[in-house]
Structure 1
Amino acid sequence: MPTKKDIVKDALEDLSKINFKKFCDALVDRRGDRKVAKNKVQDKDFMDVTNVLVSSFTEDETPAVVIELLKSIKCFDEAKNLEEHFVDKHRTELIERVTNIPPILNLLLKKKVIQDPVYEEICDTKGNPEKMTKIYRQALKSGICAKDIFFEILKDKEPLLVEDLEKKA
């Protein structure tokens, strides 16, 4: 499994030359208590800049800083690719703790995230964790849009659980 540092390194490697330069400029100009000197990133490659980021912010903080900087230079797709979706990040907890499954399934069907056969299969499954596992395997595999819809449904149908998980993040 790739580390956070690896993920950041790959994201910086994928930037165009001009966007990488903009990123480095934004990093040097970034406001906050921890500054990065221009000579640390000037004429450096993506691996060197990744190392500077990790040594300046810690490996755990670096992805959030990179996302912030990518957004500041209008690289929204690249930033979105780095962000871990709430439903992915909290998969285990959601599988274990979601209990309000029938209305969630109804809304997934209504919003066309799942079709009738999948709906029926999940409804026929015994146990909430098993149903949630099937939701992940069958309903959310179609991508970010399905995950966004699922997250909005969770906020409505399981608000206290979502709030608890957001506090832990």
Structure 2
Amino acid sequence: VGNAVTRLLWNTLKVLEEHDFQKFKRELSKIQPKEGYERIELESVAGLSPAALATLLYSHYGRSHCVEVTVEVLRAIGQVQQAEHLLDMLQTGELGEVRSWHSTPRSTARTWLHFVEQHREQLIQRVTSVSPVLDQLYGHVLTNEQYQSIRGMPTPQEQMRLLYSFMPSWDVACKDLFLDALKKTNNHLLQDLQGQ
């Protein structure tokens, strides 16, 4: 399987049980991708292997959006742990074009990550008021659908985890806006993290 993104998707899909893999395909054909992308029809994926489906996801949705779609589908079929693992691989530099996560110490891999990526776990655990952050991001970074789905999560930790699941499709400007929103709403926490 070709590039790093496709390999990461393949590694995620190939560990699913057969019935979960079939559920993944069915759910994939139902989800509504973001504007500018077409849905993948069930007939297109019915007979595909994990490797072939990973390649199709990459070619159909592109580098940034294919991971976001995969995470969304995994969550929808109850494979939350696999979705989190995929995001963790993303955050730890598995997709680095220059560095490989397997050959690079985690501390080194972290040096080229954005602040909000470096401190992902801390922010998920310690941001207690998420709504003001969402309000800052609404319309600029988050769509109405994403905003509402995050607001619907029962705990701040789950809200933050879902927010982070959308991050693979963000550019640096979006991450900067997220950081600015955190500074405005959780300044003491940010100062604490910056001092670490």
Give the TM-score of the pair, scaled to structure 1: 0.54
1:23 aligned residue:
24
1:9-48 → structure 2 map (5 Å cutoff): 9-32=10-33, 33-48=37-52
Instruction: Confirm or deny: 8 A CA contact 1:4 1:59 kept in the other structure.
Output: yes
Aligned to 2:73: 69
1:80-129: CA deviations, max 9, x gaps? 1001389746932579x8xxxxxxxxxxxxxxxxxxxxxxxxxxxxxxxx
The residue aligned with 2:167 is: none
Look up the match of 1:164.
Answer: 176
Question: Please, which runs of 5 or more residues in structure 2 have no aligned partner?
Answer: 94-108, 129-174, 181-196
Which structure: greater helix fraction?
A: 1
Distance change (3 Å), C-alpha of 1:58 and 1:154: same
Cross-structure match for 2:111: 92
Unaligned runs of 5+ in 1: 98-135, 141-146, 157-162
Distance in 1, Cα, partners of 2:177 & 2:90:
9
Counterpart amino acid of 1:29? K
Q: Alignment identity in percent?
A: 18
Alignment partner of 1:51 out of 47, 52, 55? 55
Shift of 1:50: 1.0
Shift of 1:37: 1.8
The match for 2:123 is 151
* Stretches (4+) displaced over 2 A: 84-91, 150-156, 163-168
